[in-house]
Amino acid sequence: MKRLLIVSLIFLLVVTGCSGVEEVDIEDEIITDGIEYTVANRQYYIESHEELMYVLYSGVKQDDSDFWCRALWKINPYGEDELLYETVNKNLSFRARSDNSMVAIETDQKLIFMDATGDIIHEFSEDELGIDKGERFSIVEWDNTSGTLWMTAQETYVVMDYITVDTNTWEVMTYHNPLGPTNDYDLDVETGWILSSNYPVFLDFDSKVLYHSGNLLTSLYLYNIFEEEKYFVASGFVNEFKPLLSSDGFITYQVDNQFYHSTVEDVKESGISLDEEDKDDYGIQYYTEGKVYLEDGIIFNLERYGEMDNIVWHRTWNGIQVGTHSTHSKVSVKNKRVYIVIDQSLYTLDYNTGETIWVTENVGASNTEQAPLLDKNGTIYLSSQFEPNLTAINENGEIKWQLSAEELFGIQELTLDGEVLSARVDNETVYNYSLEGKRLDSK
């Protein structure tokens, strides 16, 4: 059967190709199903489903390089071959359903659906698909179970949105890319799972070199577009994961040129679930990896998300020893700086880049529900259930004063009201201090 298909294909391309293009002779060429194949001044893309083969032929007129055409043919070994669609000097791509009941064609900023007889049954313009100005859509794959066509909306080769067309109702749905603009991804259209990283798209070699010189951490995530579930999978420095996600939930990716394998279920069971509600008002999210009492400590991750829900930067701290102490505080943001206590040190980061501005050590283990407090002069105030219980740090990271007091052991909350710091130890006891650390009244 395969030999019959290939013979039929060769016969077709010998005598036809595109209108206005010289005859094509490919008797000595090898055509591979499911990939693009280029030879001389022509190109082929082939899909085969059951006994039919679809061939997209692209050719340039030998005596006129400004004339090029694309033609989509349906090859039937038991019947007549059929020219489904042809364009001149216009783009053309397609995907056929596995049961041959329908073909989706993308051309001239339109999406066209044809039935098994080659008749056009529906068309969409870019506006009807919800494509924004400056973006273009690209056909990805059919969900052959439900009859849904999946596409992407791209801006400068970067996936911005996923789009589906339900051919039972012709309903169009748009799903914003939740993992940020990237082309380092794979999609399972049957389940809606996306395996995607925050490795950027480079438009020139210099930008790639610059990015790699920064030795930044990139991360791989698993996200379900229907259920809005998100899981952390892996990290690597300036790493392109090249992820693969099979229809049976099998996951493959690369870190430092080594292959790793997992499954969707394993990631869900042992991975880190990232809830959108975990982000604070500044788009900052944090999570830990590993068990609290691991000998090598745990890994703490801090991320900032942009307006398009893309990851702007990602920071990681390894080997944090926790014991009975808290890992980190909440985050405070002021004057484009991010303040957070991690492993008994106060980190001040640049809000735009995530880079460390300065670090102040030995400030105590912060309560995970407590964020650093800042007064109008930029002084930062911290509290800890263990010594030192209170710490004041100036805007340059220098400790102004620290206070350890038996009465403050187990402090639950620190608040700032004007010129007064109030330390709540329990539901009934609050101790007040001046901004210089002097004890005032209590209640």
| 166 contacts 189 by C-beta, under 8 angstroms | no
pTM (2 d.p.): 0.58
Residue type, 41: N
Per-residue pLDDT, 63:
59
Per-residue pLDDT, 321:
55
> What confidence tens digit (pLDDT) does each residue in 40-51 have?
455 668 888 888
Range of 30-34, 238-242, 266-270 with top mean pLDDT? 238-242
State the Cα angle at 304 between 300 and 307, rounded to 5°: 160
110 pLDDT tier (thresholds 50, 70, 90): very high
> What confidence tens digit (pLDDT) does each residue in 415-427 have?
999 899 999 888 7
CA distances from 37 to 7, 26, 47, 55 (A): 17, 12, 12, 11
Per-residue pLDDT, 334:
87
R_g over Cα of the chain: 30
| 125 contacts 131 by C-beta, under 8 angstroms | no
Residue type, 64: D
Whole-number mean pLDDT of the chain? 79
292 pLDDT tier (thresholds 50, 70, 90): very low
Q: CA torsion, points 301, 305, 311, 313, in degrees to nearest 10?
A: -60
Burial 107-120 (b: 16+ CB within 10 A, else e): beeebbbbeeeeee
> What confidence tens digit (pLDDT) does each residue in 298-313 have?
667 787 877 656 677 8
> What confidence tens digit (pLDDT) does each residue in 149-161 have?
999 988 877 788 8
Share of the chain above pLDDT 70, in %: 76
316 pLDDT tier (thresholds 50, 70, 90): confident
| 185 contacts 195 by C-beta, under 8 angstroms | yes
As given in the structure block, the two tokens for residue 163 are 């789009």
> Which is nearest to 392 in space by CA: 377, 407, 381, 406?
381
State the Cα angle at 41 between 39 and 45, rounded to 5°: 55
